[in-house]
Amino acid sequence: MRKGWIVWGIVVAVVGLLITIGGGVALLISQTASSLDPVAEAHTPGTASFVAKNVTYKVLLVTGRRGPAASSATTVCQVTLADGTTIALDGSVQAVSTEAANTESIGSFDALAGDTSVTCESSNDGVRFVVDEEGALDRVGTWVLLGGVIVLLAGVGLILGGVFMKKPAR
C-alpha cells in the first residue's frame, strides 16, 4: 500500500465533495429565486408571455405542496420568439437537467429582443411553470458542480491507487 496516495486521496475527495456541495447550493439558490420572482409564469396547459431581451432564458417546472405532482420529463413547451420562429423544448431530452427543491428544469433558449411566448403542456394540468433569465449563478453553479465531481473522482482514484498499487521490487 502507498499510504501517501491514500492520505492525499482522502484530502482531494473531501475538497471535491465540498466543491460539489457548493455548486449544488448555488443551483438551489438560483432556481428558488427564479421560482419566486420569474420574468413570466403560467399553469399547464398555458402560455407565459413577456418582452424578452437578447439573453438566455430557462424554463422551470415548479411543483407545489398542494398542487398536482408532475415531472419535467412529461412536459413539452413551444417557444415563439419575437421574429416568429419557434423552438421546441422537451423536458425529457436535456443536455443538462437540474432539479432543486420543488423546481425542475424543462430547458433553455436564446431569445431575441421583443415579444416572446412560452406555451407548455404536461401530463398533469394545472402545474406551474416559470420563465426566467439564466444568470451567472446558474452558469457558475453548473461548472462548479461538474468540477467538484471531477475532483471527487480524482480523490477516489488516488485512494484506489494507494490501496491496489504495489511498490516496485528493489
The pLDDT, as a whole number, for residue 122 is 83
User: Which DSSP helix (H) or strand (E) runs through 59?
Assistant: strand 56-62
Residue 98 resides in a domain: yes
Residue 95 resides in a domain: yes
State the Cα–Cα distance between residues 70 and 123, nearest whole angstrom: 7
List, as own/partner pairs, every contact residues 93-96 make where C-beta atoms lie below 8 angstroms and the sequence separation is at least 24, other chains included. 96/142
* Domain region containing 56: 3-164
Residue 169 resides in a domain: no
The pLDDT, as a whole number, for residue 31 is 79
**Consecutive sets of 10 residues in the chain, 170 residues long: mean pLDDT of each?**
87 95 86 81 89 90 67 82 90 63 82 92 83 84 90 94 78
Apex CA 114: angle with CA 98 and CA 78, to 5°? 45
Residue 112 resides in a domain: yes
Domain count, the chain: 1
Residue 170 resides in a domain: no
The pLDDT, as a whole number, for residue 68 is 53
